[in-house]
Structure 1
Amino acid sequence: MRKTIIIALIALVLVVAISFFIFNQSTTIVKVYVSTTTSLYETGLLDYLTSKFTQKYPGVNITFLVVGSGEALERAERGDACVTLVHAPSLEVKYLINNTIYNHTIFAYNYFIIVGPGTDPANVSRAGNTVEAFRRIYEAAERGLTVFISRGDKSGTNVKELQLWNLTGVNPSGKNWYKNCGCGMSNALIMANELNGYTLSDISTFLKLKKNGQIPYLEVLFQNSSELINIYSAYLSSKCSGEELKYGRLFIEFLASSEGQNYISTYGLQEYGKPLFNPVDGKEQELADIWSALSRS
């Protein structure tokens, strides 16, 4: 009798232990760190996409590290982030060559725009191309008519801005009117609005702040579809491993999937009258070629 009771108790303990193990396994949360450029996060796109992704994978917690593209890549290189989402091809290619990131996946694009006061003291709206637009800003600022706000944070937008200044053949660095804020896109736009100045912005962040009434004096003064295309790419960090790598890869696959692309194509449409980002469906090779050209600039 006593032996039977002992066997029963041992069996009960085993059942409880196994049940606890199964429960613990099923409730384990896998945290995936994603370093990302500010425009994807501040527009709300990433929170929206993450909510859809975690419906499919409820045991995953996507944690965003919101910085400029330069720092986002650095964090991936150090292993602080498993996934990085960036828009600076000329920076990205250096990390690809060093094999610190891999699995390049283009998942969205939109455009940079030049914004400034509605009065447009630099006559940017009359420029024939982007280089002329920047040269007009330089000349007007030298006459004391305006200022230019630079993010100065090694972000994709900042990298693009510096490339454009280089193409003009003039150097604004050190000028009193060249305001280096070392800030994100939203703060740069707000500063330009307050100082009656110009800045380079991604169109998505501009539309969000304009809609919210935060930048009432700024207008889009120059845009085109060739010189100012803005391509967003996802990568895996070479230092990521285990379950974080598994779900980091799945997150990137979700972004590029037909489901993820559909969410991207409609995000912002109802609120802003047009989507804030464009999907890459059907344009994969075209965008890859453009990215390649931009990576060499």
Structure 2
Amino acid sequence: MLDAWGLFVLGLVLLALGGDTLVKGVSGLAQKLGVTPFTAGLLLMAFGTSLPELFVNAAALLHGQPELALGNAVGSNLVNLGLTLPLAAMAGAVVVRLRLLLPLLLVLIAGSLLLMVFGLDGTINRLEGGLLLVGFVVVVVRVVVMGRGEAAGVRDGVDAYAATRTVTWLNLLRLLIGAVLLGYGARDVVAAMLQLAPSLGLTPLMAGLLPVAIGTALPEVAAAIVAARRGQGDMVLGHVIGSSVFNLLVVVGGMAVIAPLALPASFVKLELPAAIALAIVLVPMLRGDARVSRGEAAVLLLAFAGWLVLELAWLQ
């Protein structure tokens, strides 16, 4: 048991290190190829932090555990909105200046609703998965186009986030090291959880929803708290919303394209509605004073705690 927990923690550390290394490599190579720092930063800010979840889900599929992968994908969204964001806002008020984040949040809500509709028959088929992937491509194009209209001060902040060395050999090395660390980390996390889940009374689905989703989010929580303390609210919310959109459209959509994906009844009745509710609560916060205060963060935390209680009750 202790060995399995040790393997789980080691896997989380490798995932955190690998994700950061790979993101730097991708950013450096993209800028070397002519992508502007702003565009590179915008895409990395929005989708780069999903790499650990992506590798974990790939490892879960290789182990024949699609339910664990599905649980991690949707559970990560709940953790992003209900834990990462409010903890960061508790550390320092999250002020948002990047205007494209509200439309991206609305995409997250619409995508979650669409996934619920697709899942009414209990399955996400290949066509539906393909539609989710196409939706992601449209979102990326839209994000890049909308980003061009952002204020100069906002663009400077994103440029600074993407700043990294653009030496080709160094970034290729970063890609290699990052991919290796992510691969081993994902393997360890999945292998450990398959050992731990039965003793914890968790199905593979619940293991993905709870310990794996929360565990893989811990580095993001720490990074979000640091960013909030530095007044980088756009980075905090960009990571939270962008990562959630990526998980929903690319991870779930990609799994369904590989093989039709069984969607448990609880996803339509509990997990997806909970994720939608958390996202909807966030809308007026961004439309009002464009900030997430400590009081609003407390509301999100309470909502997340309520979901946890319902989830644990569902286990009984």
The alignment's TM-score, normalised by the length of structure 2, stands at 0.25
Higher relative contact order (CA 8 A, sep 6+): 2
More strand by share: 1
More helix by share: 2
